[in-house]
Amino acid sequence: MRRFGTICALVLAFLAGVLLHLLYQRWSLTEPVWQNPVSTNQSVSPAGEGRDFHVKFVPLPGTPTADNRAADVATVLARDIGQVRSLAGRKARIRGRIFRVGHSAKSNTYFLDFGPSREALTAVIFASAVELFEKNRQTPRQFENREVEIVGFIKDHPQYGLEVVLEHPEQIKILN
């Protein structure tokens, strides 16, 4: 009987931990992964003393800053598959018309295809980012048959082909 009580206590402790973890994930605020701020002015309080230490980032000579980093991003047309493929693994600005918007109901993932073939570039919006797009009043379906510009890292996935993962609404802009 004592063993049963110990097992019940362990199961209840485990379930309480899972519940607390889920609540923490739901209400904790995090910044998008794709953003990489160049300068910051944050308050740091070591040992809880209430003192503020202001930190400022000063780039080394020759280091790209936020101003000139945007100029370093290559701009290509989505229909130029060869040029897009040559930029795989790098951040790029891509312009083109969304041919179709596909949706996987199982994973709540949207696929913004820039062409009818499998070789065409695809922008992917995973379920974790769909809520951000909807809060920003940008439903993924509204991009269909629209001229857009996306910014992100190009992946040449062996199974799915060329893709750019959109993690934040600021990564896509409607041009027309």
Q: What is the DSSP letter of 46?
A: G
**Count of alpha carbons within 13 Å of 45, Cβ hemisphere only?**
4
Token code pair at residue 45: 């309080």
Token code pair at residue 109: 């993932």
Q: Is the pLDDT of residue 151 over 90?
A: yes
pTM above 0.95, yes or no: no
Within the chain, residue ranges assigned H as helices are 2-27, 66-72, 81-86, 127-135
In this prediction, residue 80 carries a pLDDT of: 86
State percent of the chain over pLDDT 70: 73
Arithmetic mean of pLDDT over the chain: 79
Residue-wise pLDDT for 12-59, tens only, equals 999 999 888 878 777 765 555 445 444 444 444 445 455 565 666 555
In angstroms and rounded to an integer, the radius of gyration of the C-alpha atoms of the chain is: 22
Buried b (16+ CB within 10 A) or exposed e, 22-35: eeeeeeeeeeeebe
**Which residues contact residue 163 at a Cβ distance below 8 angstroms, ignoring those fewer than 6 apart?**
121, 122, 123, 124, 154, 155, 157
Q: How confident is the model at residue 119 (pLDDT cuts 50, 70, 90)?
A: confident
Average the pLDDT over 147-157 and give the result: 91
Average the pLDDT over 103-132 and give the result: 89
Q: Is the pLDDT of residue 71 over 70?
A: no
Average the pLDDT over 127-153 and give the result: 89
Q: Which residues pair with 164 in a beta bridge?
A: 123, 154
Average the pLDDT over 97-101 and give the result: 91
